[in-house]
Amino acid sequence: MPNNLWAQPTLQNHLYKSRYCITNMSDQNKIQKIVRELQADLPLTSYPFKEIAQRCDMTEDELLEAIKNLQEKGIIRRFGAVVRHQRMGITANGMGVWIVPPEDAGRVGKIMATFREVSHCYQRPTFPDWPYNLFTMIHSSTVAECEDVAARISEATGIKDYKLLFSSREFKKVSMVYF
Amino acid sequence: MDKLDKLIMNRIQGDFPLTGQPYKQLAQELNIAEDELLTRLRVLKERGIIRRLGAVFDSKKLGFSSTLVAAQVPEEKIDKAVAVINAYPGVTHNYQRAAEYNVWFTLIAESQERIEQILQEISDKTGAQKILNLPAVSFYKIKVNFNV
């Protein structure tokens, strides 16, 4: 890996393309350094941000300010532990796929989102052999409970056409390395 | 996980203190010593319950594109296909599911064009019969915490 990733034009363009007002080069450079640190593991030491700040050539206060700024802009969606929920006892994970009339997707999506067991709810495109347009990840401790949640979602939304696809094998689960 | 581990797990998944001594602050909230919290966090990580402690980024706001991909791969070709798919760093989650589309993975890349290109490569190399590119068009929920 080259030291200066900005030398690669595709990476250089990323933050320019972003709609979030990161327009000057020194800002981009700073943000890239911070992202590179925070996409990895926060040190388990008393002053973790001090260590990171040193590696980013800034003061601890500047770093904390920058992180808060990234959070306000929504560039950082969440700060904390990323968990393996299977190892927390939440072992059944079903991907619910639903056929929802497109004009009704907003109403239905909002109802689905209210379920505690639903971690993600997105609308996605359809294809001739794939008519399912709403996706809900449903997490619980048993398959039966996931099925029960799906049945309750169906009841609450009036959407009868759905399938629950359970994962039989996990091939990969990692955090993205952006820069 | 004992009761304290569960309290730690429920607290640590979001709203991390952005202060000079974040673990000290968290420990105070949990009524334990900083050292005990750090020790327990190390163990939770070793056991793989905590996969990572850090920031979760909105890939779109960083200028990246992301998608969910469904592939139809003949059973006997799955292992080889998975090796090809997993070799892309932008593939962050990959699961087998019992359905006509049996391999489901998420993909992040620097542009839509690059995503299309990667999917073409995967199609060429794996013998996947069909591949669906399913980028989210509306977001209704992205959850934060798994409580125990």
Are B28 and B71 within one domain?
A: no
Smallest Cα distance from A151 to chain B, Å:
19
Q: Cβ B140–A135 below 8 Å, yes or no? A: no
Query: Which residues contact residue A80 at a Cβ distance below 8 angstroms, ignoring those fewer than 6 apart?
Result: B12, B13, B14, B15, B16, B53
Query: Which residues contact residue A175 at a Cβ distance below 8 angstroms, ignoring those fewer than 6 apart?
Result: A39, A82, B51, B52, B54, B56, B92
Are B81 and B120 within one domain?
A: yes
Q: Write out chain B's pLDDT in tens, 148 residues.
A: 999 999 999 999 999 999 999 999 999 999 999 999 999 999 999 999 999 999 999 999 999 999 999 999 999 999 999 999 999 999 999 999 999 999 999 999 999 999 999 999 999 999 899 999 999 999 999 986 888 8
- How confident is residue A23, by pLDDT bands cut at 50, 70 and 90? low
Are A66 and A135 within one domain?
A: no
Task: Tell me the pLDDT tens digit for each residue of A39-80.
Answer: 999 999 999 999 999 999 999 999 999 999 999 999 999 999
Are B40 and B90 within one domain?
A: no
In this prediction, residues A106-112 reach a mean pLDDT of 98
- How confident is residue A7, by pLDDT bands cut at 50, 70 and 90? very low
Which CATH number do you get for residue B129? Answer: 3.30.70.3460
What pLDDT score was predicted for residue B69? Answer: 98
Residue A154 is part of which domain span?
A: 85-166
Nearest residue on chain B to A45, alpha-carbon basis? B38
Residue B32 is part of which domain span?
A: 3-46
Say how far apart CA B136 and CA B144 lie, in whole Å. 18
| Residue B107 and residue B88 in contact, taking contact as beta carbons nearer than 8 Å | yes
The ipTM of this complex is 0.92
- Per the structure, the count of domains in chain B is 2
Looking at the domain assignment, is residue A122 inside a domain? Answer: yes
Q: What is the pTM of this model?
A: 0.90
Say how far apart CA B142 and CA A147 lie, in whole Å. 21
Helices (H), chain B: 3-12, 22-29, 34-46, 78-86, 112-126
Helices (H), A25-168: 25-38, 48-55, 60-72, 105-113, 143-157
Are B24 and B69 within one domain?
A: no
Domain's final residue, options A48, A72, A96: A72
Are B73 and B127 within one domain?
A: yes
- How confident is residue A10, by pLDDT bands cut at 50, 70 and 90? very low
Render B30-61 in DSSP notation, one character per residue.
Answer: TTS-HHHHHHHHHHHHHTTSEEEEEEEE-TTT
What pLDDT score was predicted for residue B143? Answer: 80
Looking at the domain assignment, is residue A175 inside a domain? Answer: no
Strands B138-142 and A118-123: antiparallel
> Testing the interface with A: which of B3, B52, B105, B139 to mutate, by most A Cβ within 10 A?
B52
Domain's final residue, options A72, A96, A118: A72
Smallest Cα distance from B46 to chain A, Å:
12
